[in-house]
Structure 1
Amino acid sequence: MSLVRLNIKGISYSQTQNGAYALILNEVDGERKLPIVIGAFEAQSIAIALEKEIRPPRPLTHDLFKNFAERFDIIVKQVIIHKLVDGVFYSSLICERDKIEEIIDARTSDAIALALRFDAPIFTYKNILDKAGIYLKVNPKKEAEEGDLESVLEDDVLTDPLGTETSKESYKDKSLEELHKLLEEAVVNEDYEAAANIRDEISKR
């Protein structure tokens, strides 16, 4: 079976499951998307790994795993989403230590959170993408029906589980110096929602 490389398109709040998020993976050499439902904690961990400017003062679980692995010279070479059963995706971490490869079973959300931290590529098999992959067209003028996955790609931007879609009006009157100070305080306090909003305001400036 041939492997297909995937990139992370983004994360959206799940329309079908309360408290869950939809992680959207994009086929590198194609137009299909692979939506995977993940929990809020894993969504936040993936979002923080994507947000290079936000660094938690203490390591999250996936950061701890990376630090632990690096201490013992273990690297994650790649992640493979290898099975789909009853709507549940199964993944493997392909790891290497002393030039010996090991395959470790992992939840897909954890595997992708680690892939980001190790800069490891993400793959799936063609038959899984044929079975679960979907085509999503970006159409910001169309009002998507509730539960329609097109809604997660409105304006080609996905909702950030850190809360960047919340109101940012309170930061518009702040100076850049004040914003950088607020960003530092938000990260120290582990208020990643506020940190994401402040970072967006700084980026606009």
Structure 2
Amino acid sequence: MPQVRVAGVALDQTGQHVLLIKPVDELPGAGSVLPIWIGELEATSILVAVQGAVAPRPLAHDLMRSIVDATASRIERVEITRLEEGTYYAEITLETTAGLRVVDARPSDAVALASRVGCPLWVSDAVMEEAGVPDLTADEGSTEESIDEFKRFLNDVDPEDFRG
């Protein structure tokens, strides 16, 4: 199970937000990236956390972090565990006073929360193998050409392409 990071958030040709997840040990333009289609609010929340921005009022994921802190708990890890019929599933592992607890979550919420607390993020090998695509963001050609090629990929791919 590779440890991953948020490589970015992009828009596909229809204007839908795509979360891009990449193994931490792979350089830009190498290996693969995992695209996960998410909602606009989740994309904003992830970008706020990744960029270290401060929202004028707490977002839902800030509230989640506050609840975890207030209950003397800690988020140990987040895992994107499986892909079934085009839907990704994730789990948040919490360290609580009652022991470890695993909570089912949407990947976008889990990643937004992980980005706020700095816990490790993982993706199952099966998910990376099934839905990972070549990372074309920084190939041997110019960076601009590689980014254009990746944008063309996003324009041509559809979330339905990942249905089992």
> Same fold by TM-score, threshold 0.5 exceeded?
yes
Q: Does 1:28 align with 2:24?
A: yes
Deviates more, 1:125-134 or 1:107-116: 125-134
Equivalent position of 2:50 in the other structure: 50
Question: How far did 1:141 drift?
Answer: 2.5
- Residue 57 (structure 1) shift: 2.3
> For 1:25 and 1:38, how far apart are their aligned partners in 2?
12
Is the CA contact (8 Å cut-off) linking 2:77 and 2:94 kept in structure 1? yes
Identity of aligned residues (%): 29
Amino acid aligned to 2:115: L
Q: Over the residues paired in the alignment, what is the CA RMSD in angstroms?
A: 2.1
Comparing 135-144 and 109-118, the one that deviates more: 135-144
Equivalent residue for 2:102? 103
Structure 1 counterpart of 2:153, from 145, 148, 153: 148
User: Does the C-alpha gap of structure 1 residues 63 and 86 become closer, same or farther in structure 2, counting only changes over 3 Å?
Assistant: same
Determine which structure has more spread, i.e. the larger CA radius of gyration: 1
- For 2:5 and 2:12, the matched residues in 1 are separated by 19
Letter in 1 for 2:85: D
Write out the 4+ residue segments of structure 1 that deviate beyond 3 Å after TM superposition.
Answer: 142-147
In 1: Cα distance, 2:114 partner to 2:130 partner: 23
Q: Distance in 1 between matches of 2:130 and 2:153?
A: 18
What secondary structure does 2:58 align onto? coil
Give, as a single letter, the amino acid of the residue that structure 2 aligns with 1:149: L
The aligned residue for residue 127 of structure 2 is 128
Whole-Å Cα distance in 1 between the matches of residues 150 and 125 of structure 2? 29
The number of aligned residues is 146
**1: CA distance between counterparts of 2:24 and 2:155?**
19
Distance in 1 (alpha carbons) for counterparts of 2:5 and 2:98: 26
Normalising by structure 2, we get a TM-score of: 0.81
How far apart are the structure 2 equivalents of 1:70 and 1:108? 21
| CA–CA separation in structure 1 for the residues paired with 2:84 and 2:152 | 22
Deviation at 1:48, TM superposition (A): 0.5
- 1:18-77 Cα offsets, whole Å, 9 max, x none, are 4x201101112342110100000000000110122x212211110011111101112111
User: Which gives a bigger RCO, structure 1 or 2 (Cα 8 Å, sep 6+)?
Assistant: 2
* Contact 1:136–1:150 (8 Å) recurs in 2: no
Partner of 1:11: 9
**Are the counterparts in 1 of residues 82 and 126 from structure 2 also a CA contact under 8 Å?**
no
Task: Report the equivalent of 2:78.
Answer: 79
Letter in 1 for 2:7: K
Distance 2:88 2:119 in 1: 18
